[in-house]
Amino acid sequence: MENLQSRIEEHIEKLSQFTATPGNGTTRLTYSKEDRQARDYLIGKMKEYGLVVREDGFGNLFGKLDGTLKDAPSVLIGSHFDSVPNGGPYDGPAGVVAGLEVAALFAKNQIKPKYPLEIIALIEEEGARFGGGLMGSRGITGLLSEENFKKLKDNEGVSTEEAMVKIGLDPTLPKKRDPKTIKAFLELHIEQGPILEEKNIPIGVVEAIVGLTQFEITVEGQAGHAGTTPMDRRADALVTAAQMIAQFPSLAIEEGAGTVMTTGQLHVFPNGANVIPKKTVFTVDIRSGKEEHIQNVIRKLNELIESYRLDGMKITAEQQLYMQPKVMNREIVALLKQASSDLETPYCSINSGAGHDAMVFSDVTDVGMLFIPSKDGLSHCPEEWSDSMHIANAVQIFFETAKKLTEASSNDQ
Ligand code: HGY
Ligand code: MN
Ligand code: MN
């Protein structure tokens, strides 16, 4: 197991070097120089492990081990390799690395699958550059249309396809994938919370993933001189945004049932210390285990917006993402639990408060997820850390599960 663990540590260490903020966490935005560096590393490893490498028209990366069955659907194993700004090195890459090492175990043990095994590295799950998130998986499943993909631009006005070409990707490659080519999707992810560590359990078998929605809200007032404009003659876009955002925690708490609401991004224009803000643009992220709670909070958000519009502020809200809560496939959950027991690896059931590509793939195929503990429950920050031994545990569980899902036989029989 130790050389598996040391290979995992090397992958994570190498990938963590591809960051725009060295010394201050992982910042690897989609189609950036750091994306290119990580992509080249993963392509090299996929080839070293005997996989046939392909990219699609979104820049998602696939490494395929063909099966004995012709034109059969693949078992996909992987996760995303983009990051939030100043995030951690495990959020996403832990799942891609786990997929890589499952493929390595197939090769090392000369396992010939009946159904193909594909390792997948997905783009723009975080939405840190183009907004919304889950972009790579939504593109593959068709939830994000090619037309809407092309319309997306980053904060500098660079479009997705322009950014792709800039790092040598080909947006004309096939985008949407026929769901009939996918047999199952497995994803390892760090828990990003405190439960597994507090329970001292190395594996969480995910039962369900919360529903989530994200809005971008724009408030427009009137710029003016901070010194000469009387307080009763202002239309201050930042004050209005602040008054709205300050009410979000109580909206979530009133809704209860673990509902959460977050503003993570706020831009102020023109952003001068002595200028009354003309415009603010901020995000709203709402999540809950039940869809009715999300709908209730969306309704209250719209009522709040309407009340400020009546005050004469121009406010627009663009919904960038909406995902219903998802339940993982029961058969795959059972396979993952059985494999954990057979390997004598303690596990528990767990639900996910974070969104994952698995929730998108669950619309088109059978999906299963494993979690491993996050140190101090921290994630989306430079302190994010997980134990490579836990990743190695997950690799073994996925290896046993993937052999069943691909109906593999070992050549040395
Ligand atoms: O936001 C999330 O839940 C994930 O980290 N993209
Ligand atoms: Mn993630
Ligand atoms: Mn994340």
Distances (CA, A) of 61 to 52, 64, 364, 389: 11, 10, 19, 26
The neighbouring-strand residues paired with 323 are 212
Q: Which of 186, 194, 135 is nearest to 164 (CA)?
A: 135
- Does residue 133's CB lie within 6 angstroms of at least one atom of ligand 1? yes
Report CA(382)–ligand 3 centroid distance (Å).
12
User: What one-character-per-residue DSSP string does 74-116 give?
Assistant: EEEEEEE----TTB-SSTTHHHHHHHHHHHHHHHHTTEE-SS-
For position 2, what pLDDT does the model report?
A: 60
Q: Side chain identity at 396, as an amino acid letter?
A: Q
How far is CA 378 from its chain centroid? 16
- Does residue 321's CB lie within 6 angstroms of at least one atom of ligand 1? no
Tokens 């078998």 — which residue? 205
Q: Which long-range contacts (CB under 8 A, 24 or more apart) does 39-43 make?
A: 39/81, 39/121, 39/167, 41/14, 41/15, 42/15, 42/81, 42/96, 42/100, 42/121
Rounded (10°) angle between helices 33-48 and 93-108: 20
Q: Which of 267, 151, 271, 262 is nearest to 219 (CA)?
A: 267
For position 411, what pLDDT does the model report?
A: 61
Which residue's CA is the closest to the ligand 1 atom numbered 4? 355
The neighbouring-strand residues paired with 182 are 74
Q: Where are the beta strands (DSSP E) in 194-341?
A: 203-209, 211-220, 224-225, 260-262, 266-269, 275-276, 279-288, 314-323, 326-327
For position 40, what pLDDT does the model report?
A: 98
- Does residue 193's CB lie within 6 angstroms of at least one atom of ligand 1? no
Percentage helix, strand, coil, to 5, in the chain? 35, 25, 40
And the tokens for 71? 């034109």
Question: Cα separation of 314 and 295, whole Å?
Answer: 23
Residues of the chain under the 50 pLDDT cut: 412-413
The SS3 of residue 335 is helix
The number of the ligand nearest the C-alpha atom of 133 reads: 1
Question: Cα separation of 75 and 72, whole Å?
Answer: 10
Q: How many residues are listed for the chain in this entry?
A: 413
- pLDDT, tens only, 126-151: 999 999 999 999 999 999 999 999 99
For position 311, what pLDDT does the model report?
A: 79
Torsion (CA) 378, 90, 16, 152 in degrees, nearest 10: -100
Distances (CA, A) of 325 to 162, 203, 374: 33, 22, 23
Report CA(194)–ligand 1 centroid distance (Å).
16
- Whole-model pTM: value is 0.94
Report CA(128)–ligand 3 centroid distance (Å).
10
- Is the preceding omega at residue 85 within 30 degrees of 0, hence cis? no
Please give the span between the terminal C-alpha atoms of the chain, in angstroms, as a whole number. Answer: 23
User: What one-character-per-residue DSSP string does 12-74 give?
Assistant: HHHHHT--SSTTS-B---TTSHHHHHHHHHHHHHHHHTTPEEEE-TT--EEEEE--SSTTPPE
Question: Cα separation of 325 and 286, whole Å?
Answer: 12
Question: Cα separation of 37 and 51, whole Å?
Answer: 19
How far is CA 66 from its chain centroid? 27
- Residues measured by CB to lie within 5 Å of ligand 2, the ion: 91-92
The neighbouring-strand residues paired with 204 are 348, 371
| Pocket mutation for ligand 1, best pick of 26, 134, 192, 352 (most atoms within 8 Å of C-beta) | 192
The pair phi, psi for residue 333, each rounded to 5°, is -55, -45
Question: Cα separation of 22 and 18, whole Å?
Answer: 8
How many other CB atoms are found less than 10 A from the CB of residue 298? 17
Is residue 165 within 8 A of residue 171, CB to CB? The reply is yes
